[in-house]
Amino acid sequence: MQTAVLDGGLVDPARDAAFAFRAALDALSRPGTIRQIDGAEAPAPCSPAAATMIVTLCDPTTPLYVAPSHDNEALREWITFQTGAPFAAAIDAVFAIGTWDALAPLGAYAGGTPAYPDRSATLIVEVPVLEAKGAVLAGPGIETKAQLNLPEVDAFQANRAQFPLGLDFFFTYGNRVAGLPRSTRVTEG
């Protein structure tokens, strides 16, 4: 085991995770807003934001799918040591991590059941840039409209069409995060 596996976890786990969760909660509650989230450092190519999301939300009860963009031994070992989350295929995953292209297609993930729409995957999507422009967002959490540079529009419209089933998304870049719940209506900007 490389020493890097032991490094990069939260320094003060309970308090750091509390701050990280609030950033994630704020991001998902107000789609389009971009929040700072950091504290954890994982092996490349995982961003600090995605690493912090993983240590804050994942544990031995949450199967994790690592998409090909992020599937390397160093990152897997780090995730195992820091969280104990078991690795799983996309269909069994509670969380997934990767770039947009590597995570596709969205049909590979569980979108919940009519009785339990919460039994659905949350995708942590690493993006090359995160900014409040581009696709137009409306729905819960948004007073009038918001904008976010989503990787595409069609996939999120198809996801919204399944509501209350569907997937939920966090977009991560550097030490920043934005959220997009299934409830958001997305149109071209």
Partner 1 sequence: MTDQAYNFAYLDEQTKRMIRRAILKGVAVPGYQVPFASREMPMPYGWGTGGVQVSAACLTPDDTLKVIDQGADDTTNAVSIRKFFEKTAEVAVTEKTSEASVIQTRHRIPEEPLTEDQILVYQVPIPEPLRFLEPSEVETRKMHSLEEYGLMYVKLYEDISRHGEIATAYAYPVKVEDRYVMDPSPIPKFDNPKMESAALQLFGAGREQRIYAVPPYTKVVSLDFEDHPFDPSKAPHPCALCGAEDSYLDEVITDDRGGRMFVCSDTDFCAGRRAAGFTGEMTNTRPAPVDTEAMA
Angle at 133 between CA 128 and CA 136, to 5 degrees: 115
Q: What is the DSSP string of 122-158?
A: EEEEE-S---S-SEEEESTT-SS-EEE--S-SHHHHH
Of 22 and 133, which has the nearer Cβ to partner 1? 22
Q: CB neighbours (10 Å) of residue 25?
A: 12
Q: How far is the CB of 106 from partner 1 (least distance, A)?
A: 15
Q: How far is the CB of 144 from partner 1 (least distance, A)?
A: 9
Of 68 and 140, which has the nearer Cβ to partner 1? 140
Q: How many whole angstroms separate alpha carbon 98 and alpha carbon 147?
A: 22
- Which has the closest alpha carbon to 35: 20, 48, 47, 45? 20
Compute the radius of gyration of the chain from its Cα atoms: 16
Q: How far is the CB of 3 from partner 1 (least distance, A)?
A: 23
- What is the DSSP pairing of strand 168-173 with strand 95-99? unpaired
Of 17 and 102, which has the nearer Cβ to partner 1? 17
Q: How far is the CB of 11 from partner 1 (least distance, A)?
A: 10
- Which has the closest alpha carbon to 179: 18, 22, 21, 34? 34
Q: How far is the CB of 84 from partner 1 (least distance, A)?
A: 10
Of 14 and 129, which has the nearer Cβ to partner 1? 14
Of 2 and 113, which has the nearer Cβ to partner 1? 113
> Which residues contribute to the site for partner 1 (CB under 8 A)?
12-15, 17-19, 21-22, 24-25, 28-30, 56-59, 61-62, 94, 114-118, 120, 122, 139-143, 163-164, 166, 168, 181-183
